[in-house]
Amino acid sequence: MHRIDITRAGGRRRSLGMAESDVPFASNCVRLSPREWLIVAIIFSAVFCLAPTLWKRVERFEPENDYRLGYELSSDYWLYRRWCRSACSHYETVVIGDSVVWGHFVSKDNTLSHHLNKLTGRDRFANLGADGTHPAALEGLLRYYGKAISNKNVILHLNPLWMSSAKHDLQTDKEHHFNHPKLVAQFRPKIPCYKASCSERISAVVERHVPLFNWTAHLNITYFDGSDVPTWTIDHPYGNPLKRVTFRLPVSDSYERKADPAKVGSKAILEWVDLDTSLQWLFFKSSIELLRQRDNRVFVLVGPFNEHILDTGSIDAYREMQSEIEAWLRQNNVAYYMPPVLPTEFYVDASHPLSAGYAALAKQLFDCEIFGACILGAN
């Protein structure tokens, strides 16, 4: 019998009378020998492991005085890790916390760390604050990206605002979108308002431990406005993504947010959570334990908090919570300072001081004997 070839749509040909096993491959199939697979594995492993390390050689990172992580880069944990390593190798003391430490309403040369350096007369304090890092996120930031903070003097800031309601404390069952979800505990302990899918949670865990994924997130945030390359090319169909990669990191920005006059001077009623059930307090205590395990000398700064905007009942509840925090710190031999309330004109809102407020707070710390013994006299 003659074999008849019939041409089908798409250029495919089928041979009548030919056994299927007679065709060794499909036309679009690529098969590698064991040796070729080994070569591919070696190349892939090299890229997987070495790319983030080699990138540091071409992307220069030279933090200047009063450096702080750029506001737009607050979710760039790969860069935060680099800044931690640099700060710990050049500064005796690191100041860690949320936007209060970072300086949300002031320029970089008006932050708490700047005024501490000014009083010291030299660059001794580094600003390791990151905008929006509530205690649950800060614990993850220190655990996975702050490993370089070891055998250092550490000023750890606690912003009571994160415990001023069940929503801020992440206790509500209703889904609540909060800052830095990739940093919080993905599975245990459970965060009721965090409703991410299982795949999103696993992705967050993998990104913490795989340098390549963390590095690609850095590229997306630094050079592509926070989106990945495919998404960026869709939004910019005529743009060249290669030109976006300049190998130049943004300098410490001069970001200085202006206060909203409508929010200044208004009285607030806050429903403070119980410390025994507070998630934010739980994670803050975990941060202290983690830093101590790494042989750091930890000094806790509680506040300052703008009591001028609170009603009488909220102030009384806040003072009671302060007493409980103080009792725990003393019981666990943690050096701390609870500054007295600053003048009302030194605040922008409930927890952020202006430059004069930071200057006054720095002076209060220098006058505190425990601060002098724990931090100033440590080295």
Q: Tell me if 34 is assigned to some domain.
A: no
Least confident of 16-25, 61-70, 150-159, 194-203: 16-25
Per-residue pLDDT band for 260 (boundaries 50, 70, 90) equals: low
- Tell me whether residue 165 is in a domain: yes
Q: 31: pLDDT confidence band, cut at 50, 70 and 90?
A: confident
pLDDT at 7: 46
Task: Record the pTM.
Answer: 0.85
Least confident of 71-75, 181-185, 333-337: 71-75
Residue 302 lies in a domain: yes
Tell me the residue type at 116. L
Q: Establish if 60 belongs to a structural domain.
A: yes
On the question of pLDDT at 356 being above 90, the answer is yes
- Mean predicted confidence (pLDDT) in 12-41: 62
Which structural domain, as residue segments, surrounds residue 63?
Answer: 47-376
Q: How confident is the model at residue 184 (pLDDT cuts 50, 70, 90)?
A: very high
Residue 110, domain member (yes or no): yes
- 258 occurs within a structural domain: yes
**Cα three-residue angle 211-212-218, rounded to 5 degrees:** 90
Does residue 29 form part of some domain? Answer: no
Domain CATH for 371: 3.40.50.1110
pLDDT of residue 174: 93
Q: Distance between CA atoms of 151 and 124, rounded to whole angstroms? A: 15
Please check the confidence at residue 96 and state whether its pLDDT lies above 70. Answer: yes
Calculate the CA 376 to chain-centre distance: 27
pLDDT per residue as tens digits for the range 236-250: 888 888 888 888 887
Residue 66, in any domain of the structure: yes
Domain count along the chain? 1
